[in-house]
Amino acid sequence: MTPPLIAPSILAADFANLQRDIELINRSEADWIHVDVMDGVFVPNISFGIPVCEAVNKHALKPLDVHLMIVQPERYIDAFARAGAAHPDRPGTILVHYEACTHLHRTLTQIRETGCRTGVALNPHTPVELLADSLDEIDQVLLMSVNPGFGGQSFIPHTLQKIRKLRHLLASAGKTALIEIDGGVGTENIAELVEAGADVLVAGSSVFRASDPTEAIHTLKFFNQTAPQNVRLA
Ligand SMILES: O=C(CO)[C@@H](O)[C@H](O)COP(=O)(O)O
């Protein structure tokens, strides 16, 4: 089985030591760096914006996975692309929320034109079937497995059913968009998430609250490999 892609969320990093935490991700087996942008309107919390994304990009060696939890995301797509998501050597993804887009097709076209991969995020209550007529424009679907706005929340079990439905929707349409899960991901649920069809796992608390974040990333990525046994040599 191909290991899932792991995207540590810097929302749970130490903002006073952001460079240190980005460099930790660079050296780890993580695949992407997840950047959670919150505006205090679409979600009841404010995280950070374009200057912090630029600062992350300055030290990052891995693609940025920029999750815009903001209203009218089309106003800021070009700025986040320039801030690092569209890096020429490691192009990343810009994700907009389905619930925040009046003209989703236009917004996804705008993201494609920046050179970034396109992503659509769905809140826990939003059915995956609503994406049926947009699959040609989508490289990645992010299913929120907590209500967006805060790290450290409990995983919503209904997400497993949504992953299976989305996997079926994509297969029936012959599409290869990646399925990304965000919120409450950890060693206790990663096996069932991957078994249900998840390709990318966002992990905030389970990485940055661990005593050894590098080891936590390794454990998430290689969750299905048994630890080597100590062999006593004669
Ligand atoms: O987008 C969000 C929250 O809105 C997530 O990316 C969280 O930051 C994930 O955090 P943990 O649940 O892993 O702590």
The CATH number of residue 28's host domain is 3.20.20.70
Taking the centre of ligand 1 as the mean of its atom positions, its distance from the CA of residue 181, in whole angstroms, is 10
* Closest protein CA for atom 7 of ligand 1: 151
**Identity (one letter) of the amino acid at 165?**
K
Helix/strand number for the chain, H first, E second: 8, 8
Residue 118 forms part of a structural domain: yes
| Residue 182 among the catalytic residues | yes
Determine, yes or no, domain membership for 43. yes
For residue 38, the surrounding DSSP H or E stretch is strand 33-38
CB 152 within 8 A of CB 12: yes
Does residue 213 sit within a domain?
Answer: yes
* Angstrom distance (rounded) from CA 76 to CA 73: 6
Residue 81 lies in a domain: yes
Q: Would you say residue 233 lies in a domain?
A: no
Residue 20 lies in a domain: yes
Model-level pTM? 0.95
Residue 234 lies in a domain: no
Identify the pLDDT of residue 227: 56
Is the ipTM reported for this complex over the cut 0.95? yes
> What are the per-10-residue average pLDDT scores of the chain (234 residues)?
96 98 98 98 98 98 98 98 98 98 98 98 98 98 98 98 98 98 98 98 98 98 74 47
Q: Residue 33: in which H helix or E strand, if any? A: strand 33-38
Whether 134 is covered by a domain: the verdict is: yes
d(CA 106, CA 186): 35
Q: Which structural domain, as residue segments, surrounds residue 160?
A: 5-221
Distance 233 CA to ligand 1 centre (A): 45
Q: Is 9 annotated as a binding residue?
A: yes
Q: How many domains does the chain have?
A: 1
Amino acid 189: pLDDT: 98
Q: Which residues line ligand 1 (CB under 6 A)?
A: 9, 11-12, 34, 36, 67, 146, 148-153, 182-185, 202-206
Residue 233, pLDDT score: 46
